[in-house]
Structure 1
Amino acid sequence: MARILLAEDDDSLRGFLVQSLTRAGHDVSGHGDGDSAWEALEHGTYDLLLTDIVMPGLDGIELARRGAEADPAMKIVFITGFAAVALSAQSQAPKDAKVLSKPFHLKDLVVEIERVIAAA
């Protein structure tokens, strides 16, 4: 089981991911923007940051940079619906961050999260 912080501004997707990842055995804290996610990162420890890239307030790349500085051991997975953003994110993201493009199958997300966590 991993402790996951999820930052996703789409309410329905965030709710679905929190529920699904919880069912997969993870402890998930969902946040609707980068600012509230950063506040949670400042006050807690997480195994994985799962974040959208394009969000209101603090974007996912800056959230990941700050998170990586605060906890270098935390793994990072980006999710985005924009191919160009995904390519840009890979060059700007903290070392070893993964990028998944939306839409993705839930099974693929769970497998990728487990792979990233196992590599720790």
Structure 2
Amino acid sequence: MFDTDKSARSTASYDWSASALGEAARWPLPLRLAADLLLNAPLPSLLVWGREMVLVFNEAYGALAGPGYGRTPGGSVPPVMPPPLAAAGEALQQAWRGEPLVLSGVQLAFRHPEGLREERWDLRLTPVRDEAGQVAGVLLTLAPASPAASEDPAPGASLRILVVEDNLDSQYLVCEMLKAFGHEAEGTAHPDDALAMMARQRYDVLFSDVSLPGMSGVDLARRALQDQPALRVIFASGYGDTLLRHVEFPHLSLQKPYELDQLQDALAKIAAMPAARA
């Protein structure tokens, strides 16, 4: 499936002296072992080491990500979060807390010279512990999604989306864009009204601004998830992800101002995310 070199690889196959990790001979043993497993693995794999997010990836992931991603095997802090890590969301934070996880049927997009390549993958996240037993890194392996997970939605399927945005012009524009994508969309400016609307009917997606009058979008989502645990959540924020660092439930976030293709991509990913816990 992957056009990669068939020879065996290990940390000794590369010169790491100019990387953020330094010479491999000085690496801690858990890092060397995890990197050797990753570099010799046939499936696309990433290793995130340390809270600085130093990234190591193998030949198979380099082929999948495309020539613009960088030189294998990495060993640096990426300027942009790689698609598998971005899609993992809260699952990545759970792995940092020591919990191995599997996310099934996650849609990922990679840019190649011939255009955008989109496929569904199963993501396996494994915590890597240091000599003291603390989580020092996360190994993420991509496997082709099972046929059941990769089936396309039924033709004409749409999402019922509640948009909560106190800027009425923005609210109207987002609702119209969502309708143009083929979804059902309703909007409201106040979180209390949003809770009342969700009490009357079910929604597939809550698309909320983080900063709202009277209640944050995060608190709104927490209350909504108590009654609708299967609700998917997308946040829009003009303050980056600062206010979302400690959100405990699965979600996606868009940085304002976002582009049309970013909104479409978020909607495509949201159905593959695990349902939040009640």
Give TM-score, length-normalised by structure 1: 0.90
Aligned AA (2:159): A
Alpha-carbon separation, structure 1, partners of 2:248 and 2:228: 12
2:208 counterpart residue number: 51
CA contact (8 A) 1:90 1:99 kept: no
Whether the aligned pair in 2 keeps the contact of 1:6 and 1:50 (CA below 8 Å) is: yes
Structure with greater strand percent: 2
Q: Find the residue that maps to 2:236 and give its secondary structure.
A: strand
Give the structure 2 partner of residue 115 of structure 1.
Answer: 269
- AA of the residue aligned to 2:267: I
Give the aligned length: 117
Q: Is the 8 A contact 2:250 2:273 kept in 1?
A: no
Deviation (angstroms), 1:38 = 1.1
Deviations 1:19-42 (A, max 9, x none): 010010000010111111111111
Name the one with the larger helix percent: 1
Amino acid at match of 1:40: M
Q: Is the 8 A contact 2:164 2:208 kept in 1?
A: yes
Q: Which runs of 4+ in 1 moved over 6 A?
A: none
Larger Rg: 2
Q: Which moved more, 1:105-114 or 1:70-79?
A: 105-114
- Segments of structure 2 that go 5 or more residues without pairing to the other structure are 1-157
Residue in 2 that maps onto 1:101: 255
- CA deviations on 1:58-90 (whole Å, 9 max, x unpaired) are 22011100111111111001001112xx22223
- Select 1:40's aligned residue among 184, 197, 202: 197
Tell me the TM-score normalised to structure 2 length: 0.40
Please state how far the C-alpha of 1:94 moved relative to its aligned partner: 4.3
The percentage of counterpart residues that share the same residue type is: 27
Higher relative contact order (CA 8 A, sep 6+): 1
Gaps of 5+ in 1: none
- Structure 1 CA distance for aligned equivalents of residues 248 and 201 of structure 2: 20
